[in-house]
Amino acid sequence: MSTYLIGDVHGCLVELKALLAQVNFDPLQDCLWLTGDLVARGPDSLDVLRFVKGLGDSVRIVLGNHDLHLLAVFAGISFNKPKDKISPLLEAEDADELINWLRRQPVLQIDEELKIVMAHAGISPQWDIDTAKLCAREVEAVLSSDSYPLFLDAMYGDMPNNWSPELSGLPRLRFSTNVLTRMRYCFPNGQLDMICKDSPDSAPRPLKPWFDLPSQVINAGYSIIFGHWASLEGKGTPEGVYGLDTGCCWGGDLTMLRWEDKAVFSQPSSKKK
């Protein structure tokens, strides 16, 4: 049995299947982890969801910001942007089934045996592992409930940007969602900056990538897996932190890490042909 971790798929089904074929992935024996953003920007969001859903218990995913945007569009809360290429999914006969499956997926995955933590964007330096679990479970609970449209309507926004255990209600859920699905930069005290999207060598002071601040989760012996940040190209993270989004939908590669031996596999985007 092997554990394979793959960066943001973004509707790139051909590349996903080719990458799994490189290692003869066997859903009866192996486990596949996906860093979120299954949909949008690439050509085959509908069939990616069908394929991943069909893998059943052999796959572990987290939701990304584009996955949440899809849920909001389907609920009539946000607009369908042509550049996201999700219209075939929204119009599919099994759209209800796929959306209801998607909104019941986690925003955080933890394997205590392997000591792996996976979130789409990362883990706040202000959180320890127990706080990360608690905040993730709160988001997951409301997403899987009948009141999920209320949450989706309120999740857009950059505030609050500083963690406090006293946060409650929709502001608390928004902070947690921003950490787990949107975060890139923090101030030195761990406070979120939700504006800067520059590369780390161009970011204004005193901002730092979240993973360059001391991590309570890393210090507790876990490794953190994330996607979301394609411009990193999988580089520049410290020991114990693995960024796997390498921009397949933009013409880059789809990247996979085999956890047991840390072997890295890549599949070039079909746009390169």
pLDDT of residue 103: 97
- Residue from 62, 72, 69 nearest 7 by CA: 62
pLDDT of residue 199: 87
Contact (Cβ atoms closer than 8 angstroms) between residue 197 and residue 184: yes
Q: How far apart are the first and last CA of the chain?
A: 33
pLDDT of residue 273: 52
Determine whether 130 is exposed, middle or buried from the number of CB atoms within 10 Å of its CB (0-12, 13-18, 19+): exposed
3-state secondary structure 120-135: CCCCCCCCCHHHHHHH
Contact (Cβ atoms closer than 8 angstroms) between residue 142 and residue 106: no
pLDDT of residue 20: 98
pLDDT of residue 272: 59
Contact (Cβ atoms closer than 8 angstroms) between residue 37 and residue 62: no
221 φ, ψ (degrees, to nearest 5): 100, 10
pLDDT of residue 258: 98
The b/e string for 137-150 (b: 16+ C-beta within 10 A; e otherwise) is ebbbebbeeeebee
* Sequential pLDDT tens for the chain (273 residues): 999 999 999 999 999 999 999 999 999 999 999 999 999 999 999 999 999 999 999 999 999 999 999 999 999 999 999 999 999 999 999 999 999 999 999 999 999 999 999 999 999 999 999 999 999 999 999 999 999 999 999 999 999 999 999 999 999 999 999 999 999 999 999 999 999 988 898 899 999 999 999 999 999 999 999 999 999 999 999 999 999 999 999 999 999 999 999 999 999 998 755
Instruction: Please give the helix or strand (H or E) that residue 96 lies within, else none.
Output: helix 95-102
Question: Domain 3-272 class?
Answer: alpha beta
